[in-house]
Amino acid sequence: IFITHWHGDHYLGLPGLIDTMDFENRLKPLTIYAPEKERLTNLLNSGYSSKRFKVTPKAVPAKGCQVKNLLETGDFKIVSVPVRHDVAAVAYSLVEKDRVKINKEKAKKVGLPAQGLIYREIKEKGRVIFEDKKIEFEDISLVEKGKKIVYSGDTEICDNLIRLAGDADLLIQDCTYFDSERKEKYGHASLEDVIKMVEKAGVKKVILTHISRRYRDLEKLRRKVRDYPTLTVAEDFMKVTI
């Protein structure tokens, strides 16, 4: 679990979620990443609990400009960077690693069969001899670039966020205001800010979220962004393909 900052609308569901996990007989340890780790520790210790699984808080830096590598597996990594809000806050990015795959068209051109154990062999060894011909893995492979997803949390547009969002396939972006009023005071972004940032960062698709409750007419908001094909107004339970 990754917490961006300690305003109630971003963390108050956490105790109930942890209790639900316990009720559902979770045994696997849970790691929670957050800035100001002591606040997370205090929250976890604020009531009586007899959880059957371990919860480990992990600190996330909320000052400076360093992109911090928080978690890495064989398939992806998750990184963070401090952003500009009225309390300590961070943004997160999930970055898939590039995948090297067999290109069946290339394989067919060099004479390999449509399927078979020979593909496992060439992946493991890097080359095979087939019908007296040496075939390198590079001859029949292609690189599928991994996807990049960024979640801004609550923030004004800032250099750290622009850097983190660079070339993202999907940016889930704070767009509290669809006009420019009061955004500086509260540390949020406006639609005008987001449009400028997306052009600079080269983001492919943006979901606008954390929209102020003053904007009740979602259809009116959609009309405001219809001239910007990369922008979409968030809806509950929406699904996005990237």
The pair of structure tokens assigned to 65 is: 């400009």
- What domain range includes position 124? 100-144
The answer to whether 83 touches 60, Cβ cutoff 8 Å, is: no
Q: DSSP states of 55-96 as a string?
A: EEEEE---SSSPPEEEEE-SSEEEEEEE-BSSSSBEEEEEEE
Statement to judge: residues 75 and 52 lie in one domain: no
Statement to judge: residues 15 and 76 lie in one domain: no
Give the residue with greater pLDDT, 212 vs 186: 212
pLDDT the model gives residue 119: 84
Determine which helix (DSSP H) or strand (DSSP E) holds 150, and give its type and residue range. strand 148-151
Statement to judge: residues 88 and 192 lie in one domain: yes
Statement to judge: residues 90 and 199 lie in one domain: yes
pLDDT the model gives residue 151: 98
Query: What integer is the mean pLDDT of 213-242?
Result: 92
pLDDT the model gives residue 142: 82
The answer to whether 6 touches 36, Cβ cutoff 8 Å, is: yes
**Active-site residue, 169 included:** no
Is the model's pLDDT at 235 over the cut of 60? yes
Statement to judge: residues 70 and 133 lie in one domain: no
The tens digit of pLDDT for each residue in 19-43 reads 999 999 999 999 999 999 999 999 9
pLDDT the model gives residue 124: 84
The tens digit of pLDDT for each residue in 31-74 reads 999 999 999 999 998 888 788 999 999 999 999 998 999 999 99
Q: For residue 217, what pLDDT band results from cuts at 50, 70 and 90?
A: confident
pLDDT the model gives residue 167: 95
Statement to judge: residues 83 and 14 lie in one domain: no
Statement to judge: residues 208 and 242 lie in one domain: yes
Is the model's pLDDT at 183 over the cut of 80? no
Statement to judge: residues 82 and 198 lie in one domain: yes
Give the residue with greater pLDDT, 165 vs 183: 165
pLDDT the model gives residue 182: 59
Statement to judge: residues 242 and 175 lie in one domain: yes
The answer to whether 82 touches 160, Cβ cutoff 8 Å, is: yes
Q: Determine what percent of the chain is predicted with pLDDT higher than 70.
A: 98
Could you give the number of structural domains in the chain?
A: 3
Statement to judge: residues 187 and 82 lie in one domain: yes
Choice among 9, 217, 227, 236 that is catalytic: 9
The pair of structure tokens assigned to 80 is: 């963070």
Statement to judge: residues 124 and 218 lie in one domain: no
The tens digit of pLDDT for each residue in 185-202 reads 578 999 999 999 999 999
